[in-house]
A and B are shown apart, each in its own frame.
Chain A
Amino acid sequence: MNEQQQLDELRQIRNLMERSSRFLSLSGLSGILIGIYALIAFGLMVNYLHEHTFDIMSYYQLAFKPNGDTNNAFLHFGIILSGAMVIVSFITAYLFTLRKSKKQGLKSWDKAAERLLLNLLLPLFAGGLFILALLHKLEIGLIAPAMLLFYGLALINASKYTFNDIRYLGVMQIIFGLIGAFHTDLGLILWAAGFGLLHIIYGSWMYFKYER
């Protein structure tokens, strides 16, 4: 065996190890789009607050009417807005990932994809239930930070099964979530920064690193 053959062999081994254990068709482009959706959702929320003469910092106080009753109209608006954002984001990520794996000539649904999805969904599912509890207890100011926190944990958990880069995105989301948990008035802005800006930055980074 000569040197070139040895090098080829090592390269082949590494390639097989990566390909068989990690799902490498996650689309960076969908990250950018999801970031844009988040910024649109943020814009709609800011607009809603302005219509009710509230500012971004005290948004969570709109959950109560001046007489102390819960403001169901505001809560419903928030639930529908974030619910729509989650659904549209998932559909976008799914479609773009499918497209990318087809382009790469890979099977889109294999063991690696299954493991990635499971490890992403598990913390998200726990987070979803936790947010329902916050909503039930009317701890509205903690909902946006909790979304960041659990999403960050889900990304770190899933990073073992796809590009390792999403680990850093996860760490950043957790930091934003924790700051928001202590500074409730920054919650909405951090949410927009985490789900919006970070996704756009990360998505562009992934796009130029792996897809160009």
Chain B
Amino acid sequence: MKEIIYAINQEFESRVRLGIMSVLMVNDSADFKTLREMLELTDGNLQSHLKGLEKAGYIQVKKKFIDRKPNSNYVATRLGKKAFDDHLKALESYLKKQK
């Protein structure tokens, strides 16, 4: 039981972070606007969670300029994908144990 709780990743405690990772798991990349619309968040809130995930090494930012406006594209790193998978597995096995 203890190790399962440990595997439920602290970085994903926030639903927003889990949401960001969910989108990036099934899309090659997503830009800030897409994430904001998908998750229905304010700029500041989304920005701070993206920073957190970036610091953890789970996502990477690719900055581009489109029509001279900065455009940030986010990609899940291999580490991030693995962490997300492990987190899901932990959630599942936790639920199985409850039954």
Contact = CB atoms under 8 A, between A and B. Distances in A.
A6 B95 CA distance: 7
Contacts of A9: 15, 18, 91
A196 B94 CA distance: 49
A17 interface: yes
Contact of A16 (B8, B19, B98): B19
Given A6-B94, A12-B19, 6 more contacts: A6-B91, A9-B91, A16-B19, A20-B23, A20-B26, A111-B27
Interface residues of B, number: 20
Interface of B: 8, 15, 18-19, 22-23, 25-27, 30, 34, 37-39, 88, 91-92, 94-95, 98
A13 interface: yes
Contacts, number: 47
Contacts of A7: 95
Given A20-B27, A111-B34, A13 B95 contact: no
Contacts of B30: 20, 111
A73 interface: no
Given A13-B22, A16-B22, A20-B26, A107 B37 contact: yes
Interface in A1-35: 1, 3, 6-7, 9-10, 12-13, 16-17, 19-21
Residue from the set A7, A9, A13, A21 with the largest chain B CB neighbour count within 10 Å: A13
